[in-house]
């Protein structure tokens, strides 16, 4: 009797279980592929924490089948694709471990269409999908990792992944864009960290730079304004100064799923969401507007997306080809109006005054910066004393940066950015000199006002000294009265400087 009693409610539970098994991979989920446990379209494997899955999928507008690592939510995104250039045209695909120990994809005819290509694989290996989204091929006997998807990224940069350059091996790990949303094969854009003097993140179109992050200051890339807002401490860059750099990122909050991806139009975006939610937030890194495009205004040009036209020459420079420039073809950029004193062959008779610097505020610093050991107050004089130095900037976390040659890819930001000092001939400093005169006059007027004010209040207080009035109130009155004028003047100075 007890037995039949139990049967009364078991069927309901069994039904639920069966349903769960149907709707998810709950019952069969495993995270490993071995030579005996392969997966066949549409089977999948799921990482232990269920954050990522690996299996067959078709991008939008195509029936081609690809094997990829997918975010484990209903609206899936492929963060890694194996057979990018060799889609399966039907659902006969199999992912398994080959006799040689490589991870392989076989088509219906049992032909290898993709392989992990480890040159000396081991006989005894298995592939496991980790919760980080990394697919690792291990030697079972030793546990050693012989291949991992993190070292062969597609278009996505995941937390815990390393993106960088290994000088010893002569290798650079790059993201590569898809050709189109329905074709994961390798498109024309790639992205990665360039280990130049100060590391920068780049997007390249073919071999040409297409976007640049600005240099790394120890926390963020200083030319990516959104980074200041989003990630104060999530990124880490290790630079051995010998050409080996490694960029990683991870959020302290483990309930955030996030990755950076390069879309098929060459735009670098971040996607993030909370584990419990399914909708992504997608802030842009760049290029978002025309000015983000590398070298938009040519050498010595500066780009401001809020201006029309967007390109202007730096102060002291003029368009190289006026007619071309006014047509909106800025690629030739600008040239100096007056040669630098230090570049001229000065005869003894011809005395030319020393060059100076014009300040450029709140910009993405130009490309090809060179780090110099200069300190905050010596950075400028070091530059002035070296004729090949044509600009400098001091930035906290980086130090003294100097430039020689062309200044390219300068972009004006509404806020943030760095101040760059551009070397120009003395005669080009006129504007600045005028402004200094205005400042000097304003300051002297201010000082005179203060002096007069002080004189009167001293006289007034002297008068009061004998009287029985409250001293406190008179002091307060005096202070307020005397502060007004100088304040107004300093406001005017700032307006003047803005022009
Ligand atoms: C898919 O195809 C439809 C119809 O051709 C088109 O409107 C849509 O934009 C395509 N989607 C993508 C992502 O390419
Ligand atoms: C699919 O591709 C195979 C070769 O990889 C080819 O033999 C077969 O005819 C194709 N099938 C279709 C339906 O195109
Ligand atoms: C594996 O190696 C072969 C031959 O060296 C090459 O043709 C193929 O593209 C490689 N596959 C991958 C996925 O690297
Ligand atoms: C390798 O290890 C995995 C997981 O531990 C196991 O399932 C598999 O059978 C092993 N493969 C071989 C060939 O021993
Ligand atoms: C494969 O690895 C397992 C341990 O994981 C070991 O017991 C077994 O002997 C290995 N097989 C071969 C063929 O090396
Ligand atoms: C990328 O380069 C190709 C070839 O040089 C060019 O046709 C294309 O317009 C470029 N794309 C962008 C977005 O600049
Ligand atoms: C992670 O973020 C979520 C959502 O904002 C928040 O509720 C949670 O407290 C955070 N956890 C930690 C450890 O900060
Ligand atoms: C812009 O000028 C450069 C240099 O003179 C020339 O090579 C290029 O074709 C021009 N581009 C356009 C769109 O006219
Ligand atoms: C300065 O003199 C050198 C050689 O005496 C010459 O090559 C150079 O062109 C001169 N530069 C200028 C700006 O006249
Ligand atoms: C002058 O500046 C150039 C470029 O910044 C640099 O290569 C060179 O070493 C500097 N020379 C001296 C003497 O500092």
pLDDT tier for residue 468 given thresholds of 50, 70 and 90: very low
Closest CA to 497 of 421, 435, 443: 435
pLDDT tier for residue 455 given thresholds of 50, 70 and 90: low
Give yes or no for a contact between 103 and 39, defined as CB atoms under 8 angstroms apart: no
Nearest CA to ligand 9 atom 5: 345
- Ligand 5 atom with minimal separation from the 124 CA: 1
For residue 10, the Cα-to-chain-centroid distance in whole angstroms is 56
Residue 370 Cα to ligand 10 midpoint, Å, equals 9
Give the helix ranges, DSSP H, for 186-300: 225-230
Q: Within a 10 A sphere around the Cβ of 76, how many other Cβ atoms? A: 15
Give the list of residues 6+ apart from residue 315 with CB closer than 8 angstroms, or none.
358, 360, 422, 424, 428, 431
394-397 long-range contacts, CB within 8 A, separation 24+: 395/215, 395/217, 395/222, 395/365, 396/217, 397/217, 397/218, 397/219
Give yes or no for a contact between 67 and 82, defined as CB atoms under 8 angstroms apart: yes
DSSP SS3 for 8: helix
Residue 158 Cα to ligand 3 midpoint, Å, equals 24
pTM value is 0.80
Query: How far, in Å, are 146, 172, 240, 367, 376 from residue 168 at the CA level?
Result: 19, 11, 11, 25, 34
Q: Which residue has the higher pLDDT, 344 or 260?
A: 260
Which protein residues touch ligand 6 with a CB less than 6 Å away? 188, 205-206, 266
- Ligand 4 atom with minimal separation from the 128 CA: 4
For residue 273, the Cα-to-chain-centroid distance in whole angstroms is 19
Give yes or no for a contact between 118 and 103, defined as CB atoms under 8 angstroms apart: no
Residue 219 Cα to ligand 5 midpoint, Å, equals 45
Please report the pLDDT score of residue 278 as a whole number.
Answer: 75
Q: What is the mean pLDDT of residues 473-493?
A: 35
Give CA torsion, residues 218, 262, 189, 303, to 10 deg. -60
**Average pLDDT, whole number, for the chain?**
82
For residue 152, the Cα-to-chain-centroid distance in whole angstroms is 20
pLDDT surpassing 80 at residue 466: no
């Amino acid at each position: 009797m007890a037995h039949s009693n139990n049967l009364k409610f078991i069927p309901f539970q069994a039904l639920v279980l069966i349903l769960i098994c149907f709707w998810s991979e709950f019952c069969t989920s495993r995270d490993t592929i071995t030579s005996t446990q392969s997966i066949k379209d549409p089977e999948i494997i799921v990482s232990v924490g269920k954050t990522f899955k690996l299996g067959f999928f078709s991008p939008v507008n195509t029936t081609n089948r690809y094997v990829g690592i997918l975010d484990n939510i209903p609206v899936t995104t492929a963060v890694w694709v194996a057979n990018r250039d060799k889609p399966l045209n039907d659902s006969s695909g199999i992912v398994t471990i080959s006799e040689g120990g490589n991870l392989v994809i076989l088509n219906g005819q049992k032909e290898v269409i993709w392989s992990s290509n480890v040159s000396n694989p081991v006989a005894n290996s298995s592939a496991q999908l980790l919760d980080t989204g990394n697919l690792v091929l291990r030697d079972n006997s030793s546990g050693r990792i012989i291949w991992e998807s993190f070292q062969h990224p597609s278009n996505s940069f995941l937390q815990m992944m390393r993106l960088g350059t290994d000088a010893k091996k002569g290798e650079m790990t790059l993201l590569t864009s898809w050709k189109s949303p329905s074709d994961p094969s390798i498109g024309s854009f790639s992205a990665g960290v360039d280990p130049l003097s100060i590391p920068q993140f780049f997007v390249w179109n073919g071999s040409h730079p297409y976007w640049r992050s600005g240099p790394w200051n120890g926390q963020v890339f200083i030319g990516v304004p959104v980074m200041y807002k989003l990630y104060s401490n999530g990124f880490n860059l290790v630079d051995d100064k010998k050409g080996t750099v490694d960029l990683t990122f991870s959020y302290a909050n483990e309930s955030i799923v996030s990755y950076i991806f390069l879309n098929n139009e060459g735009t670098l975006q971040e996607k993030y969401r909370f584990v419990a939610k399914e909708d992504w937030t997608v802030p842009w890194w760049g290029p978002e507007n025309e000015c983000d495009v590398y070298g938009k205004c040519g050498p010595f040009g500066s780009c401001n997306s809020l201006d029309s036209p967007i390109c202007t020459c730096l102060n002291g420079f003029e368009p190289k080809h006026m007619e071309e420039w006014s047509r909106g073809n800025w690629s030739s950029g600008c040239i100096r109006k007056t040669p630098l004193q230090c570049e001229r062959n000065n005869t003894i008779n011809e005395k030319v005054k020393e060059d100076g610097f014009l300040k450029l505020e709140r910009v993405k610093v130009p490309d090809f910066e060179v780090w110099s050991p200069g300190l905050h107050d010596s950075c400028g004089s070091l530059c002035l004393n070296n004729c090949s130095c044509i600009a400098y900037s001091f930035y906290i976390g980086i130090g003294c940066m100097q430039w020689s040659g062309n200044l390219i890819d300068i972009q004006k930001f509404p806020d943030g950015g760095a101040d760059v000092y551009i070397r120009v001939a003395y005669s080009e400093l006129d504007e600045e000199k005028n402004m200094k005169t205005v400042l000097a006059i304003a300051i002297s007027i201010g000082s005179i006002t203060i002096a007069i004010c002080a004189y009167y209040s001293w006289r007034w207080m002297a008068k009061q000294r004998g009287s029985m009035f409250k001293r406190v109130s008179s002091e307060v009155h005096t202070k307020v009265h005397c502060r007004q004028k100088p304040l107004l003047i300093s406001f005017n100075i700032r307006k003047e400087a803005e022009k």
